[in-house]
Each structure stands twice: as structure tokens, then as C-alpha cells.
Structure 1
Amino acid sequence: MTSKTPASASPEQAKPSRSPQLLLALAIVLLLVALGIWYATRMGAESTDDAYVEGNIVQVTSQVSGTVTVINGDNTDYVAAHSPLVTLNPVDAEIQFERAKSNLARAVRQARTQYYQVQQLEAEVSQRKNDVRKAQDDVRRRNQLASSGAVSREEISHAEEVLKNAVAGLEGTQHALAVRLAMVDNTTLRTHPDVLVAASNLRDAYIALHRTQISSPVSGLITKRSVQVGQRINPGVALMSVVPVDQVWVNANFKESQIEDLRIGQPVELRADAYSRDTVFHGTIVGLDAGTGSAFSLMPAQNATGNWIKVTQRVPVRIALDAKEVERHPLRLGLSMRVSVDTSDQTGAVLNTTRPTRPAYSTSIFDNELKDANQVVEQVISANEDRGRNNQRVNL
């Protein structure tokens, strides 16, 4: 019986396949290249995920007490600056305003009366002086005729009594004039003390009436509304808040080991968890805080103990955002951000050393309060003054 020998294998079949080894080597090379590129790009940059959107939360408060009658906005509503938000019952303020107007008008008229009285007493003083001169002439003439016996001693005595009465009348009138002058000397009608007091009271009443209409100090979204219709409110109590959505920035909390190369003015790329990774915000470092977050906490950590454990501290870094990008992709307070800072340029300052040249934030809703009140005062004074006679300064 003959046995069959198997055919010898071909050289291609006997040679082991090297495809898996080549693929593995290629993958390792690609990984090393990717790591090299990543390392090269990460050099000169610092990044953190501990970053959040922050902004101003403007509280709307009342400057006067009153009862709420109207609320013109609710949470999530947009409101423009100077728009009325809350209206208080104005009845009491209107009554006080009308009373103050009447008091100012009366003060102006009383001041006019005092100026008239001064003029009247000045005329009486002139008259009394004439009476004194006449009485003196009578006494002198009678004394000259007394030697010839043409005038009796009784008549001379009578003339002397008339002179004494004239002098006494002059002194009394001069004292009365001094009393009146004490009320108006070195003043005009508009600078009279009684008029100034009444004018100040009218300004107070007008401003109190004006403040029964509570307006928004800034433009933004309403949030945290707590006021209700019919509620009695007191000055300083927060009624609601307005968040200006165009005034937002990012606070990035970098580790203390990361801040060595951070400088003011360095460019920043940011991504928000609220948007896709394709949405990139651009910003600039505008300042590094004066301390770590724990240093300004309500209860700072006390590390002078035996059980001390080192905790990595973080320093808040403020980043200003591109306003146009924020307008296209609005941000809300508290949103998480991923931040990457390009630290290749380190010529900027580490800390701010320049003083602000203008206010960081301001509102103009109160600018015209006093101006409008002054206009009301001017109207009342003009309606009750005698411009032809009472604006002359009276000197003692």
C-alpha cells in the first residue's frame, strides 16, 4: 500500500503575513505625531474648565414708601432703561406737592409784604426826621424871641415838648425799621430765607411725587421679581432685578500653578457648554484678582492647624468678551465656559496699575429730578413776585 505525500506549500503561503505589524507601527507613528502636534500647540497656552459667565444684577428699589398699584414687567421680560417698572399710589405725594406749592406762594407774598413794610417805614423815618427838624426850628425861633418877651415861657416849654415827642417818634420808627430790615437786609425776594425754605420743601415734595414712578436704571431682562400689587413697600427693599445681558464677562479660575505666564491683554478663546464646539467666543484678559477665591470667602480656611492638608488654590481671572459675538450668541449668567489663553505674548502687566478714567457703570434716570423740580419752583415764584419792585437788594 503506497502512502501519498502532501504537496509542498508555495513560498507565498509559507511566508508569514506582516500586515498587522505594519498597521500597528503606522498607528504608533500617527499617535506620536498627534501627541507632538498637541504638545506644540499646548505650549504657550493655559486652559481651564473652571470658568463661568458673570454679569451685573441690578436691583430695582424704591426711594420712597408707598403701596404698589401697577407692575409693568415680569420675569424674563425685556425692559429698556428709563421704562416704568412699578407705580406707587401717588395720592399722598400729590397732596404734599400741592401743599408745598401753596406754601411757597404764600412765602413769596409774605416776603413781598416785608419789603413793602421796609419801604413804608423808610418813608416814615423821613417824615419823622422832617418833624424833628421842624420842631428844632420852632424851639430855636422861640428861644430867640424869648429875650424880647414876645414869646412866653409856657410857649417855649410847649415847643420843647413837641421836639421831644418828634425825637421819640423818630427813634421808635427807626427801631421798627431796623426790625423789618433784620428780616430782609442783604437779600432779594429769591434769596429770602422764608422763600428758600419753602422752595426746598417744594423740591422735596416734587421729587417724592416723581419717585412714586419707579423706572428701570438699565436695559435688560427682568429676574427675581418679588413685589406684588397692593404690597406696602419701604425704601431700599429690592422689588426685582434687571440683568443687562450685554454687560457680561467670564471669570476663569486658574490654578495657582497656571498664573505665572498670564498677563493682561492676552487673547482668549472660549467655548460655552450651552453651544456646540463650533461656536467659539473670543476675549481678552482684563485683570487678575487680588487674591484666591478662598481668601475672599465668607469663612476663609484656617491652615494654622496640625491637620493641615494642602489644597490647590485658584485665582479668578476676568475676561472681557467680544460684544458682537455675545450679541449673536447670547450668554446667561452662570453658564459654564471652557477657556484657553494664548500666553505666548507676555509683555502685558501682571496686575492693573492704571486708574479708571470714567465710571465703569452709570445710570441717568435720576439726572433730571432736581432740574425739573427747579423749574416748578421757578414757575411758582414767577407767578407770585412783583418783578418791578421786589428784586432790589435792601441794605441795612
Structure 2
Amino acid sequence: MPEESKPASSDQPTVSETPPPTIGISFLKKIRSRTTLIVLGAALLVFVVIPKIFHAWRTVSTDDAYVNSYVTFVAPRVSGQVMRVLVDDNNRVKKGDVLVELDPEPYRVQVAIKQAAVDTAQANLVVAQATVRSQIGQTRGLRFKLQHAIEDVDNQVSLIRARAATWEQSKATQVLAQAEFERSKKLLETKVASKEEFDQKREQLDVANAQVKQALENVYQARAALGLPSQPPEGTNLTDVPANLDQTFSSVRQALGELMQSGAQLGVVVSSYNLTPKQVVEEFYKRDPGGDINRIYAEIIKTAPGLKQAEAGLLRAERDLDEAKLNLRYCTILAEIDGVVTRRNVNPGNNVQVGQSLMAIRSLRDIWVDANFKETQLRNLRIGQHVAVEADMYGNKQKFRGRISGFTFGTGSTLALLPAQNATGNFVKVVQRLPVRIDLVDYDPDKVPLFVGLSVTPSVDLWSKPSGPNAGKFLQELIPPSEPANPTPAK
């Protein structure tokens, strides 16, 4: 029995020949699966975890951020009835597009009324010009009247002197007639002369005496005509007159007063009413360096009060006409910015008042992001840093580029209508948030529009070099005051 069992055991395969290959394959599989996991883990670490950590290290982000833009409220500048409304909510408009039209007829009537007022003012100006020129002619005439009055006084003074000379001549004739009379009287007593000759000499003496008396009365009359006493004071002659009589005589002063009154109507006022005619004339000629009377009168015409008043009336009428035309243009309400219409609350037939809100226009291009960063995130933020903005509307497939343009000078709670008061015993410190404005760069609303109020996630690149205005600062530069616009020159 033992011998038969040997061959049988030698011919059958042994169990130790098959297990080695099975153990090696499973071991290799385990090694490969571990390597794959290690590679995948390393790849995940290299391509996902490390970039995430690196990105979180070099950026600051917040999900408390929203899209904002300028809004222009459309309101009429004149009151009236709405004729047409040419836009509706969500319509896109450009600057200058017609939004609303008001009834223009009442304002056209006002334009016609103001135009009539301008025509009347122009006619009044022509009348004023003619009146001023007439006053200039009158003033010229009064100037010659004054000169004539002065000359009359000078002539009267000359007449006094001439009559005084005649009086002196008549006295000489009287002396001669008296002497001949005395001689004839003696000759008559000696019978040398006849009675006829004596009577003739006596008659000549009487005539001479009458001529002396008449000549003296003529002198008295000439003196009285100049307002002088008929008989001069003792120690003076009949021909003595005041040296400035031609400047103070009543007719001269009257002519001077009329001239000054006429000049006052033309805006020519003398420095003193006590001036003599000569001084007044000298002062008048000083109005022109060369003393040119024509240039003086030309300048007086330009500055005459009546003409200035008429010109001011015309200017006022023209400005009223401009205002009426402006109000007529205001009947057509235009868009002041490019954007989208919102909040329309006006319809044809409504009566609107000045300043009444009709609709609003939201700007499409002046878009920015108001990001509320925690105060602990603000340490390294500066104006000009680059920002990547993701909108929840588009997800992470669409990113917008931006830059920090400014920091609001106060947290939201401090800028509220009723600021929070923390002076209580149960105070709990809350991390505050500061609004930071982020302007979008190369934003094109026609391709990828953003809507006001959308939630976005801005990520500020702390390693980026700040650029643009006020780069690297917390506060913006002081804006220099702009020069006022030039006023419209008067016509």
C-alpha cells in the first residue's frame, strides 16, 4: 500500500506552483491604485487647492456687492397738457431723443405777444433816437443863445461908453455955446452986435444945454438896461461897469439855465450850478481831449438817458422773447443721457407741472459696483487696484474687469438717516462694512449688459500695481473749481 501511493503523489501537480502568480498580480494592482490616488491627489493639490490658496492669499473679495448706475429723473421745465408720450418702460434711448411732447399752442401765443413787444420796443428806440437828436439840436441852439446873450451885454457896455462919449462931446459943445453967448452979450451992450445975433447965440446955448441933458439921460438909460444904478456911486465914472457883467447879467444867467436844463435831459450835468458861462463852456469842451464838438455830441447821443432807457426796454423785450421761445422748446422733453427708460408714470392728456417726475432713465454705460468690504479687509486696498468681477447672473464663465476708484467716507450705518447709537450697556461689537466703488473697465453693454441691483462678487488683486487717477491712495485729489461758462453776449 505504501509503494502504490508514491507514483500517484509524483504525477499530481503540487499546490505551491499556482499561488505565487496570484499574489503578485493583486499586489501590483494595489500599488497601481495607490499611485493613481497619489497622482490624482497631487494633481488636485497642484491644480485646484494650491491655486485656490494662492488666489485667496493675493486677493480680497466680498459677496456683499451690487451693480449701480446713474439715474436721471425726467421732469418738465414748463407746465402744460401732455400731447404724446413716445417711450415706454425698458425702451432704450439716446441723448436727444424725444420722450414727451406737451401742447405748444399756449407758448406759441406767448412768443407772438413777446415778438409784438419787441417790435414796439424797436419803434420806441427809433423815437428815442430822434428825440435825442432833436434835443442835441436844441442844445446847440441854446448854446448860441447863451453866446448871443453875452454879446448883448458886451454891446450894452459898449453903448454906455459910446453914449458917455456923446455926453462928453455935448458938454464941450455946451461950453463953446456958453462962451459965444457971453461974447455976444457983451457985444450987444456995446452996440457992436445986433439983437438978432444975440438971440441966435442964446438959442444955440439952449440947444447945447438940451443936448447935454439928453446925452446924460441916454447914458442913464443904457446903465439901467444893464441893471446898473443910473447915477454911479461917488468917485466912479458913468462908464464904470463890473468886470464880469457879461457872466452874471440876468439874461446871460437865464440862457445858461436853459442850456443846463437841456443838457441835463441829455445826461450832461455840470460839476456846480455856481459856474459862470465861461467855466461851463470850458468844462463842456473838456469832455473830448481834442475839444471836437462833433465827437462830444456823438458821445452824448450814445449815453443819453432817454436813448439808454429805450435800449434797455428793447433788450428786456428781446430777453422776454428769448424766454418765450425757450419755453416753447421746453414743450418737447428730450433725453439727457443714453440709457433705459424706467418708472414711466405719464400718459397723454395728463396735466403736468414744472418739476413733476415723469419717468427715469438709467444709464447703461456709466455702470459701477458698490462693494461693501469688511473693515478688516480694507488694510491693503488702494485706489487703482485691479478687480475681477463675477456676476451671479453669468456665473464664473464671464468676468468683468474693474478698478477701485474711491472709498465712501463713512460706513453705511453712519450715513443712514438715523445713525445707530451704541452708547448702551449691552453693546455688541459688529464688524462694519465700508462701501468701495469699483469702476468697470472696457465695459460694453451691447455685448454683456449688467443690470442695476444685480449681485456680484468682486475680487481685488492685492499684488496688482495700482493705475489710473489717484493710484495707490485712500482719498482722491481735491477737484479744482471749474471756471464759469461765458454768458451769452448781449445783442
When normalised by structure 1's length, the TM-score is 0.75
Q: Does 1:22 find its partner at 2:30?
A: no
8 Å Cα contact 2:139/2:262 also seen in 1: no
8 Å Cα contact 2:66/2:454 also seen in 1: yes
8 Å Cα contact 1:292/1:314 also seen in 2: yes
CA distance in 1, matches of 2:122, 2:138: 24
CA distance in 1, matches of 2:333, 2:54: 57
Deviations 1:37-61 (A, max 9, x none): 4212321111222111110011112
In structure 1, list runs of 5 or more residues that go unmatched: 1-6, 360-366, 379-396
Shift of 1:334: 0.9
Match of 2:363 in 1: 244
Match of 1:351 in 2: 474
Match of 1:340 in 2: 459
CA distance in 1, matches of 2:226, 2:403: 100
> Which is higher, the Rg of structure 1 or of structure 2?
2
8 Å Cα contact 1:128/1:166 also seen in 2: no
Closer, same or farther in 2 for the Cα pair 1:178/1:257, shift >3 Å?
same
Match of 1:44 in 2: 58
Match of 1:298 in 2: 417
Count of residue pairs brought into register by the alignment: 359
CA distance in 1, matches of 2:383, 2:148: 93
Tell me which moved more, 10-19 or 114-123. Answer: 10-19
Deviations 1:266-312 (A, max 9, x none): 22111212224311211112222222222212222222212222222
Shift of 1:157: 11
1:187-198 equivalences under 5 Å are 192-198=311-317
Match of 2:87 in 1: 73
CA distance in 1, matches of 2:219, 2:115: 65
Match of 2:382 in 1: 263
8 Å Cα contact 1:293/1:314 also seen in 2: yes
Match of 1:93 in 2: 107
Tell me which moved more, 21-30 or 64-73. Answer: 21-30
SS in 2 for 1:341: strand
Shift of 1:315: 1.6
Closer, same or farther in 2 for the Cα pair 1:177/1:187, shift >3 Å?
closer
SS in 2 for 1:290: coil
Q: What is the Cα-based RMSD across aligned positions, in Å?
A: 3.9
Deviations 1:356-375 (A, max 9, x none): 4799xxxxxxx99x86xx7x
Closer, same or farther in 2 for the Cα pair 1:251/1:130, shift >3 Å?
closer
CA distance in 2, matches of 1:358, 1:279: 40
Match of 1:205 in 2: 324
Closer, same or farther in 2 for the Cα pair 1:48/1:270, shift >3 Å?
same
SS in 1 for 2:118: helix
Shift of 1:170: 6.7
CA distance in 1, matches of 2:122, 2:158: 50
Match of 2:303 in 1: 186
Q: Does 1:285 find its partner at 2:404?
A: yes
Closer, same or farther in 2 for the Cα pair 1:287/1:130, shift >3 Å?
closer
Closer, same or farther in 2 for the Cα pair 1:122/1:145, shift >3 Å?
farther
CA distance in 2, matches of 1:199, 1:282: 53
In structure 2, list runs of 5 or more residues that go unmatched: 1-13, 167-213, 228-248, 269-299
Tell me which moved more, 305-314 or 243-252. Answer: 305-314
1:112-261 equivalences under 5 Å are 112-131=126-145, 133-134=147-148, 137=152, 168=254, 171-172=257-258, 174-181=260-267, 186=303, 192-261=311-380
Q: Among residues 111, 115, 119, which one is paired with 2:125 in the alignment?
A: 111
SS in 1 for 2:303: coil
Closer, same or farther in 2 for the Cα pair 1:208/1:173, shift >3 Å?
farther
Closer, same or farther in 2 for the Cα pair 1:187/1:19, shift >3 Å?
farther
Q: Does 1:35 find its partner at 2:154?
A: no
CA distance in 2, matches of 1:126, 1:40: 99
Deviations 1:61-95 (A, max 9, x none): 22222222222211111222122222222222222
CA distance in 1, matches of 2:107, 2:51: 72
Q: Does 1:60 find its partner at 2:74?
A: yes
Shift of 1:144: 6.3
CA distance in 2, matches of 1:8, 1:288: 83
CA distance in 2, matches of 1:184, 1:38: 88
When normalised by structure 2's length, the TM-score is 0.62
8 Å Cα contact 1:121/1:173 also seen in 2: no
CA distance in 2, matches of 1:158, 1:104: 60
Closer, same or farther in 2 for the Cα pair 1:256/1:215, shift >3 Å?
same
Tell me which moved more, 255-264 or 203-212. Answer: 203-212
CA distance in 1, matches of 2:343, 2:258: 72
* Higher share in helix: 2
SS in 2 for 1:331: coil
